[in-house]
């Protein structure tokens, strides 16, 4: 039996951490769809066009060590605005979503485009400042020299690009439950989401 959980939201709102915890709790498979776009963007560094990169993507590409870098994140946002790139990755995501045993997908257009029929749709967000502080810690921990102000500017630039694109813009699905993690720690956010999903599974 399939059961799909779609979790969307902007960068550094906590959706990835929540998605992994939820998948582990329920024994579901997890797909960070942002990695598909990060890997596609990273492959353009090697001279491929975005469309060539998307069409040639393999599971091995998702294990690249540079996918969490700031450059990969910016490249992901740029290639994600290209309709042909998104089209090349849709079938992979939809097949994953309906696999037996349940699936959790997190990204920016899961509930609106990829899985509009998902059993649970969530939109995880937080203030710009809180998201920038979280992302800054991640980048510093990974060895990047960057200021909070630079991260905040990049996040806002990416939010604008993701929200304004013509194809699959970043926005909550009409029936998504919005989870604001600004004042939550990760344990509280995960507990809230697990409770919502458990309730949906009982219905």
162-172: pLDDT as tens digits: 999 888 899 99
Let me know: does 173 contact 123? Beta carbons within 8 Å. yes
Q: Is residue 12 marked as binding?
A: yes
* 17 labeled part of a ligand binding site: yes
pLDDT given for residue 142 in this prediction? 86
4-196: CATH, from 3.30.70.20, 3.40.710.10, 3.40.50.300, 3.40.50.1820: 3.40.50.300
Whether 106 and 34 have beta carbons less than 8 Å apart is answered as yes
9 in a labelled binding site? yes
DSSP, res 176: P
Which long-range contacts link 51-59 to residues 24+ away (Cβ below 8 Å)?
A: 51/82, 51/84, 51/85, 51/88, 53/79, 53/85, 54/79, 54/84, 54/85, 54/88, 54/89, 55/88, 57/88, 57/89
pLDDT of residue 20: 97
According to the model, what pLDDT value does residue 1 have? Answer: 76
Q: Is 100 helix (H, G, I), strand (E, B) or coil?
A: coil
Domain boundaries, the chain: 4-196
- Residue ranges, the chain, pLDDT below 70: none
Asked whether residue 13 is marked as a ligand-binding residue, the answer is: yes
**Residues 172, 108: contact at Cβ < 8 Å?**
no
Comparing C-alpha atoms, which of 145, 138, 164, 158 is closest to residue 74? 158
Instruction: Work out the percent of the chain whose per-residue pLDDT is above 70.
Output: 100
According to DSSP, residue 109 is labeled S
81 is in an annotated binding site: no
145 carries a ligand binding annotation: no
15 assigned ligand-binding residue: yes
């Amino acid at each position: 039996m399939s059961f799909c959980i779609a979790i969307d939201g902007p960068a550094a709102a906590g959706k990835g951490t929540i998605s992994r915890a939820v998948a582990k709790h329920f024994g579901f498979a997890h797909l960070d769809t942002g990695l598909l776009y990060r890997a596609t963007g990273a492959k353009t560094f090697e001279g491929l066009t975005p469309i060539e990169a998307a069409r040639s993507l393999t599971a091995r590409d998702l294990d690249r060590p540079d996918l969490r870098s700031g450059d990969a994140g910016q490249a992901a946002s740029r290639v994600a605005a290209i309709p042909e790139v998104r089209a090349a990755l849709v079938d992979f995501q939809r097949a994953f979503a309906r696999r037996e045993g349940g699936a959790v997908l997190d990204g920016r257009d899961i509930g609106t485009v990829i899985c509009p029929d998902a059993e649970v749709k969530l939109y995880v967000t937080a203030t710009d400042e809180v998201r920038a502080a979280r992302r800054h810690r991640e980048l510093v921990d990974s060895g990047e020299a960057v200021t909070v102000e630079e991260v905040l500017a990049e996040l806002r630039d990416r939010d604008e690009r993701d929200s304004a694109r013509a194809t699959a813009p970043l926005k909550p699905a009409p029936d998504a439950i919005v989870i604001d993690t600004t004042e939550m720690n990760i344990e509280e956010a995960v507990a809230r989401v697990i409770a919502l999903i458990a309730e949906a599974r009982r219905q």
